[in-house]
Amino acid sequence: MQFRFWIPVIFISFSVFITHAQDNRRAFNLGMLMGVNASSFTERIGEFGADKDYESFIRISPALGLHARYHLGKVFSLRTELLLNTRGGSYRVESGVISFGNDGKNYYTKNYRLNYFEIPLMGEIDLMANRSSQRLHICLAAGVSYGVPVASTLRYNGYAPTGSTSGPLVDVDEKFEVVTIGHANNPVFNSLAELSFDFLSGDDTPLFVRIRYCGSLNEVYDQDEIDGYNFSTKMSTWSLAFGFYFMKH
Lowest mean pLDDT among 140-144, 158-162, 184-188, 245-249: 245-249
DSSP state of 106: -
Does 173 reside within a domain?
no
Whether 113 is in a domain gets the answer yes
> What is this structure's pTM?
0.79
Non-local (6+) Cβ contacts of 186 within 8 A are 2, 3, 6, 148, 149, 222
Q: How far apart are CA 181 and CA 132, in angstroms?
A: 51
> Within a domain: residue 159?
no
Residue 116 in any domain: the answer is yes
pLDDT tens per residue across span 84-102 = 999 999 998 887 665 555 5
Percent residues over pLDDT 70 in the chain: 75
Structural domain contains residue 168: no
- Separation between Cα atoms, residue 168 and residue 164, nearest integer Å: 7
Residues near 64 by beta carbon (within 8 Å), at least 6 away in sequence:
33, 34, 35, 83, 84
Backbone angles phi, psi at 196, to 5 degrees: -125, 140
Let me know: does 94 contact 107? Beta carbons within 8 Å. yes
Whose CA is closest to 21, among 116, 121, 118, 117?
Answer: 121
What per-residue confidence (pLDDT) applies to 106?
76
| 15: CB partners within 8 A, 6+ apart | none
**What's the domain range around 38?**
2-153+184-248
pLDDT in tens, 173-194: 778 899 998 889 999 999 999 9
Q: What is the mean pLDDT of residues 31-44?
A: 94
Judge contact between 168 and 190, C-beta under 8 A: no
Confidence of residue 1 (pLDDT cuts 50, 70, 90): very low
Whole-number average pLDDT of the chain: 82
Is position 170 within any domain?
no
Residue 119: inside a domain: yes
- Whichever domain contains 83, its CATH number is 2.40.160.20
Please give the tally of structural domains in the chain: 1
pLDDT given at position 175: 85
Return the sign of the alpha-carbon dihedral for residues 130, 132, 136, 139: positive
